[in-house]
Amino acid sequence: MSESTTRPSVAFVTLGCPKNEVDTDRMRAAVASSAYRVATDLDEADVLVVNTCSFIQAATEESVEAVLEATSQWLPERAGRKVVVAGCMPSRYGEDLSEAMPEVDAFLPVSDEAGLLEIVERLTGVAADSSAGESATRTLSGVSAYLQISDGCHRSCAYCTIPAIRGPYRSRLIADIVAEAAELVALGAKEIILIGQDTTAYGHDLADEVVLADVLEAVAAVDGVRWLRLMYAQPDGVSDRLLEVMASHDNICHYLDMPLQHASKPVLRAMRRSGDAPAFLKLIERIRGFMPDVVLRTTMIAGFPGETRVDAAALMKFLEDARFDYVGVFPYSAEDGTDAALATDQVPARTRLARAQRLRDLAESIGFQRVSTLDGSEVEVLIEGVDEDDGVVFGRWKGQAPEIDGLVLLDGGSPGELVKARIVDTLGYDLEGEVI
C-alpha cells in the first residue's frame, strides 16, 4: 500500500487577512503533528482545505470562486479527493452553504477549526493519531511570523461583520503569547507581528490588569526577537504608556497600523466610531512626539451611507494634514447583517468608487513623497528571499510590513539575514539599496 493511501495528505489554500493565515498555520501544525501529511503541492493532496474570507462582499466572491475552482477542477482529477471549506464564510453563512455548495464535503467555521483532524479522519477513514508526529502549534515558511494576541471583537461598528464571524473579544494569556513567540523564533522567525481584531483592547476581558503595553514588553524580551511589529491598533487605545514602550525598545519597530476609517465626525458617529479630524491630528502629533521617525499606516472607507461632499472633502483635507506613510482605501461595501446595509441614504456605487480613487491618488502622492525622503539614508533590512527570475535579493526595512508596504531591493545578501543598506533610489513604495 502506498504512503498516500496509508497517510492521507492535506493541502491548504488561504484567503484574506493575517488572522486567517494564523488560523491556517495552526491547522497545518495540527496536521503535521498527526498521522497525516502536509502537502505543499495540490496535485499530491487527498484533502484540500480552503480557508475563506468573508469580511466584505468582494472577499466573499473571491472565496466562492476559490471553492468552485476546487470542486470543479481539483476534485474530479482523482477519485477519493475531499474538499473542506473553513474560516469566515462558514461562520457567516452557516447552513446556507451546504445547500449552495453540495460538492463540498465538510464546512468548518472559525470557532471549530481545532476540530480539523476529526473531519479529515471522518472523510478519509484513517485515524488521525495525533501522537504520530512532532507536537507543534505553529509552522513557519519565512523570516516573519504573525502572532495573534486576541480574537473576536467587542465593538459594534455599523459596517462590520467581524463580531458575527469571530465572536466576542477574547484576549490570550501573556504566558501563552510569549510561549508561542519563543516557538516561532525557534522555527527561524526574526520578526514577530502582533495581530488581533483590535490589539489595543487587549486585556479588557481578563481578570488581571494587563494591557497591550505589557504584551509588547514581554514579547520584546523573548530571546531572538529581532523585530517586533504592532498591527490593528485602534486610535482610542493608543496610550502614552504604549508609546513609551514602543519608543524604549530597540527591537520594537517604530511602526503603527491604526485604522481610522474616516475623519468626518458625522460619518464616524454613523459608523458608531469615536474621534474626528482634530482629535486624530492631536493623536498623530502625540505619536510622532514619542517617535519622530514613526511610520504610520491607516485605512479609510469612502462613500459610507450618508457621506456628503462636505464629508468627503473633510477626509481629503485630513489626509493632506496627517501625512500618513501608507493608506489603504476601500469603497464602502453594504454587508448583509450590518446596520449600515439597512441605511436609506446609501451613496451610489459610482460615487463611492470615484471618491475612493481620489483618496488613493492623494494618499499615494503623499506616501511616495515620504518614501523618497529615505533616499541616501542607511536602514536595517530583513532579507526575505531572492527573485527566481532575475536573482534580485529582496527584503524590508522596519517601516514596511509584509505584503502591503513595498520592498527593499538589494545587491546582495541571503534570506534571513539582517543587513545594513544604503538607499540609492526609490520607485513608488519600493526602495533600492546597496548592502554596506
Residues 336 and 418 in one domain: no
- 350 and 427 share a domain? no
Q: Note whether 227 and 309 are same-domain residues.
A: yes
Asked whether 185 and 177 are in contact (CB, 8 A), the reply is no
Tell me the torsion sign for CA atoms 14, 18, 19, 21. Answer: positive
pTM of the model: 0.87
Question: How many structural domains comprise the chain?
Answer: 3
Confidence of residue 130 (pLDDT cuts 50, 70, 90): low
Task: Say if residues 27 and 116 touch (Cβ distance below 8 Å).
Answer: yes
* Containing structural domain, residue 266: 144-372
CATH code (residue 413): 2.40.50.140
- What is the residue whose three cell numbers read 504566558? 175
Residue 270 has what DSSP assignment?
Answer: H
C-alpha–C-alpha distance, residues 234 and 271, integer Å: 14
**Are 105 and 160 in the same domain?**
no
Q: Answer yes or no: is 408 within a domain.
A: yes
Q: Do 353 and 319 share a structural domain? A: yes
Residue 131 within a domain: no
List, for residues 153-175, the tens digit of each pLDDT value. Answer: 888 899 988 888 888 899 999 99
Q: At 1, is the pLDDT very low, low, confident or very high (cuts 50, 70, 90)?
A: very low
Average the pLDDT over 266-286 and give the result.
Answer: 96
Q: Which of 227, 185, 197, 233 is nearest to 213 (CA)?
A: 233
Question: Mean per-residue pLDDT for 10-18?
Answer: 87
3-state secondary structure of 303: coil
**Tens of pLDDT along 294-346?**
999 999 999 999 999 999 999 999 999 999 999 999 999 998 889 999 999 99
State how far the Cα of 322 lies from the Cα of 366, in Å rounded to an integer: 10
Q: If you ran DSSP here, which 8-state letter would residue 373 be given?
A: T
Q: Note whether 212 and 327 are same-domain residues.
A: yes
DSSP single-letter state for residue 423: E
Looking at residue 58, which CATH number applies to its domain?
A: 3.40.50.12160
111: confidence class by pLDDT, cuts 50, 70, 90: confident
On whether residue 46 sits in a domain, the answer given is yes
